[in-house]
Structure 1
Amino acid sequence: MSDKEVLISMGFDPARIDWALRATNNNGLQPAMDFILEHNDDPIPDATSAAPATSSAEPQGEDDEEDASALGLQLGAVADAGVEARSIKCSQCGKIFKNTALANFHAEKSGHDQFEESTDDIKPLTEEEKKQKLEELREKMSEKRTRKAAEEAKEAKANELIRRKAGKEAAQIKEDMKNKQILKDLEAKRREKENDKKARAAVKAKIEADKRERAQKAAEEKAIRDGTATAASTTAATRTAPAPAVAAITAPATTSLPGREFKDTRLQIRLASGGQPLTTTLPSDSTLRHVAEFVAGQSLTVDVDTVTFTQQFPRKQFSSSDFSRTLRDLGLTPSAVLIAS
């Protein structure tokens, strides 16, 4: 069986085998196997571009002299002694090679640079030696595949760790964005609920004001029907007269009716936050809470449960305990100026 057939039986690519045999000048199974192991991962060059192999096993011509010079070998040293040189020997490891091409190959692999001519013959490998070489080659190839598989597994593990870390970071970023969105939605709902509450309070105050206005109109119509012109004219005057100044409102009343006889009370309410004063006319039997509901309905900055009222002339301050008392009981009839805060 030829060297090529032996290598093919081992499962090597025929093109790679041809390359190895060309590179080693067909100088045996061992050099070809060493070459395949050395260049197993290298691309196979084009056979037409490869240098033609020499058929001679012995150094010939100027090229062989150059090879011998590169190996530190003095050609003809054995011949000058009257003995025929049959091989080339590495002075550093003792290996024997058939020609300078194989010696050069050994020098490139091992880094050895001291060679000499030798009279020793290189015997061809026996079948047993070939089998041993094949077994050694299989072991080397198996070790190389094992190392390569371990390196690939290590690289795959590192890539998997990187992928998991990137996925974990992306998941954390996504979770943070989700939490921020939840907080944003909760804040928007809180503001919407607060605005709805204020809007409902304003609507409620408006309804109450409308009810009081209808009751006031009904009382006026009843007074006209009953012939109590003085009360009716007083009510009409308070509805049509412009808002008086503070001094005018707090001046003693010129009417002959006592305070408890006024059915309606005209109020001017100033907001501590500023803006135009609010004016309204309420039945004297209305409570101070009705006034608070009216103010809350006109301004979203005022809350019915927390608003307080102050009267400048005479100086009085009304607390939440006064909300259940009527305007008449609080001495605010027939008119008064209040500051809401």
Structure 2
Amino acid sequence: MRWFEGDIAQAVTQSRARNAIFVVFVEGENETSERISEAVNNDAVSAKLEGSCFVSIHFKNRDPPVPSLYFIGRNGSPIEVVSEACDTKTLMQKIEHVENVHLGKTSVTPPTTSSASADRASSGTSDLTAASSSTPTAPLEDRVERAKELLEEKRMKKKKQEEEEARQKEMLRRKEGQNVQELKRWQQEQELKQLKEERLREKKMEQEARQRVLEQIAQDRAARNALHATASSASVAQQGSSTPTISSSNSNEARLQFRLPDGSTYSNRFEADATLAEVRQYVISNVALPFTNFSLATMFPRREFTSQDNTTTLRDLELVPSSVILVLPAGGRAVADQSAGFFGLAQTLLLVLTYPITQLYTFIRQFFSGPPSNGANAAATPTQSQNQGSNLQDKRSQRRSGGAYRRSGTSNVHRLHQNQSSSDDENNTWNGNSTQQM
């Protein structure tokens, strides 16, 4: 026999859903229970009870009386109760009777709990028949009286039996009511437990989700901080590495600008380890000077180089990477009027003030544009020297020939010269208005 595997609540729910008879078998540990169990486990009975009209559930060692086999209808009232031993045939008849009642083919009769009363009634009837046959000579009235007594006794027994059955049914009804109440209370407890577990699970999931969000935020913040720190260190390292590169690339050469008294300039590049004598030789060979003897000096800080510095390198003279060198006449004296001296002083002061800005501008332009090729520089320098030299010769010849002399450019200042020549002209210091820078 295959019994329903769920609990009582599920069995009741399924019986109501299927509109089937709810069968409850309470098995005890006695001989009667074994006999009923054998009858129930019969193939025919099992096949019948496993049909769609029945939902069978099995209990062991429940409250007395045991054994008990309940057939409960759709309204919750028992249709048949088997509490005594019976064979397979009798149990099959009871099952068919219960099925007919459930389907409405027969009327409901009170459930039978025992067949002992029927046996006792049949035995009483047989005793009455035997007594009447054994005393044929007894008076008719006595026999009638005896029959009445027997009938009354039978009625009383039947009444007692009915009362006992009613009491048993009431006890069974109360027991079923208690079971139903317990089932409802158990269902409520299970529902409350499930709701509580569901609520706890939701809270746990919310906390886990919140923790994951906080961890993700912390990871993102740490990643941003690490990225920012890496970028900062990389930029600092790049700046630190680029600065020595620039200085090292430009520390092997010196870019010198030679400024003459008339404002003209010449530029050239020398090795950082070249001596000052090489610079003097370059001035003699490539610069058209209006005087024969000259001296070299720096403007800021003010320093005039002597013959003792000819063997000193440009690096030791602090002329690396770039510097402005003034080419001045040696032993000469500036001849100019008061206004010319004032303008010369103003020009010198202006050059001193703008020298740091000029050096910074030269360094930035050289850093972004790169140094020009030596070939181009060497080619450009003689051309510039020749042009400036020719212009200077023209000016000198014009001044010596006499007449009006006009400075180049947009100036309206004119100077008159006489035809007489002066040997001091070669040693004059000319204060030009040139603002050319490196």
How would you bin the TM-score normalised by the shorter chain?
0.3 to 0.5
Q: TM-score, normalised by structure 2?
A: 0.29
